[in-house]
Chain A
Amino acid sequence: MSKRVQILLFILPGLILVGLFVYGFTAWTFQVSLTNWRDVGSAGDFVGLDNYIRLFSKDRVFKTSLVNTLKLTLVFIGVTIPLGLFLAVLLDLNLKGKQLFRLIFLLPLSFSFVASASMWTWMFSPEIGSVNALLRAIGLDSLTQPWITSDKQALICIAIAYVWQFSGFSTLVYYAGISGVAPEITEAAKIDGASTFQRYMKVIIPMQRPATLTVLMILLMYSLRVFDLVWLMTGGGPGSSTEILSTFMFRTAFNRNRFGYGAAVGVVMFAISILIVIPFFARLRRSEYE
């Protein structure tokens, strides 16, 4: 069997699957987004870019969902990255019980978003939830909040649940990065008289740029596509205070029967993920050649 044939055999199965399920379907979605297909059953007529024009000029909820997605992403990343780094440093200090702590920090990653949503929805329930119950139990009654029932706090609740679920990933990547620092470097710093604190702040942490890049990209990717958690915790409510891109797309298509319009939202989401991924890949290829 020639090499050519063998190459094809090796790479074709994956490429065919991805070609259909990723690229084929995306192209189909793009084509649908150019129609006004509404109501299951009818096909809809070609309307060109009308859906996109409407999305970006007129649609209020789309704007809200973009803003909410951005807010959620910023809080999520803004907390998870420092938290992960901080915990990784703590773990690196090699205290007794470190294995146990590492396990605990990674546990939430094993949960499905559905499980987290079930748990946190109930925890944030003002009457019977454990967050307010805990506050009451330690005498901080005045701090109890409406949490998930308030249109001002619901998004924060989701962010907290999300951080709980995923910060273990950040901790892990930083932990690997920090353990990967060559011992000669830390030895050299010690010899130069640096205290532990200074060793970390001036030497080890600044070396974590690659890890930060990795964490950033993965977190960004997950922020964009988060659906299960939000849909099952609040469904986008109260009002549209927790409506994010993915719930907006789902709701537009399946609750409001605007399938063509919803497809346009889907294409926008696709475009945004490409925009996030390409710079990272470009950076990676550059570093590969260095």
Chain B
Amino acid sequence: MSRARSKSISGVVDITKKGIIYLLLLAAAFFYLFPIYTAVNTSLKSNQELAYGPVNIVRNPEFANYLKAFSEIDKPIWNSFVITMVATAISSALGAWGGFGYSKLKFRGSSVLFLILVLGFYIAPQSILIPLLRFIGSIGLYNSYWGLILTHTAYGVPITTLLFRNYFESLPTEVVDSARIDGCSYIGTFFRIALPLSLPGFAVVAIFQFTNIWNEFLFGLILTRGADSQPLTVAIGNLKGTTVASWNIQMAGMLISVLPVLIVYIFFLKLIVKGLLMGSVKG
């Protein structure tokens, strides 16, 4: 009898505990989702509905807002795609190449050189803004895709190399050694053994870089002029700066810019998690 009662009492306490935890989780979820809700809400409002306040849910969604926003940013969207894809591909490839070298080739000074390379990740972009601008200009790549691709590649190599080195560390050395014994050069081993095995690593690194480069603003601002070559982030920034700030169009444009990475996050969450962790837990 008492056992049943204590069980039911503890059952009640359990439910209350669970309830509180859910409440907390929901409160956190609210904090994170409320801004997105109001942004989506506003982006669908016509100019008249805008006047009724941002919290009230839209009554007659105006999808035309998205078309209008899209027409303002159509070239920058394409620019961002090209720049991001190419820079991601190149910086990931270089990262795999270098990461393999630091991981599987033992040589004197390897950890020092590696440190020097990785330190590049920590540099604040403001510190090198002006020389970067002058250099890119002097080689004729100002306001071009390749100017930004080169820049993003150079500043992406430290982190991609780090990620790949960590990844290759987990590849057993026996695999490499047996290839060497068979007479394969390191380079050959890289292409024949390591590369095929590194596809999961590539996925993680590529997603990581894609996010970073797609969302980058300062380099895009400095190294381009006008919609011809400017990336989407800069276009969104300009949209915000226009004096006729119709918030519905702005929010629509902003959400368009967020969409690619958002989709990647939703579908590849596990890989994202892996990437963020691989980069942060060093050694």
Contact = CB atoms under 8 A, between A and B. Distances in A.
Contacts of A246: 124, 126
A10 B100 CA distance: 8
Nearest to B186: A6
A87 B28 contact: yes
A133 B187 CA distance: 62
Q: How large is the interface on A (under 10, 10 to 19, 20 to 34, 35 or more residues)?
A: 35 or more
A117 B272 CA distance: 23
A105 B155 CA distance: 28
B70 interface: no
A6 B105 CA distance: 9
Contacts of A101: 25, 28-29
A20 to B, nearest CB: 7
Interface stretch (B59-67, B141-149, B170-178, B255-263): B255-263
B68 to A, nearest CB: 16
Interface in B236-281: 236-237, 239-240, 247, 250-251, 254-255, 257-258, 261-262, 264-266, 269, 272-273, 276-277, 280-281
Contact of A7 (B53, B94, B105): B105
A288 B283 contact: yes
A28 B190 CA distance: 36
B120 A22 contact: yes
Nearest to A265: B126
Interface string A24-41: 111011001000000000
B127 to A, nearest CB: 4
Contacts of A273: 122-124
Nearest to A176: B277
Interface string A154-184: 0000000000100011001100100000000
Given A112-B215, A287-B283, A266 B127 contact: yes
Contacts of B113: 11, 15
Contacts of B117: 11, 14-15, 18
B130 A259 contact: yes
Given A11-B102, A112-B258, 8 more contacts: A15-B116, A17-B154, A21-B128, A21-B154, A128-B247, A129-B54, A172-B273, A281-B115
Task: Give the top 10 A-B pairs by smallest Cβ distance, nearest first.
Answer: A10-B101, A112-B215, A25-B128, A21-B154, A130-B54, A25-B131, A22-B120, A225-B124, A130-B38, A28-B131
Interface of A: 1, 3, 6-7, 9-11, 13-15, 17-18, 20-26, 28-29, 32, 87, 90, 93, 95, 97, 101-115, 117-123, 128-130, 133-134, 136-137, 164, 168-169, 172-173, 176, 210, 214-215, 218, 221, 224-225, 227-228, 232, 245-246, 249-250, 253, 259, 262-263, 265-267, 269-270, 273-274, 276-277, 281, 284, 287-288
Interface of B: 18, 21-22, 24-25, 28-29, 31-36, 38-39, 42, 53-55, 94-95, 97-98, 100-102, 105, 107, 113, 115-117, 119-120, 122-132, 135, 151, 153-155, 157-158, 161, 185-187, 190, 211, 214-218, 233-234, 236-237, 239-240, 247, 250-251, 254-255, 257-258, 261-262, 264-266, 269, 272-273, 276-277, 280-283
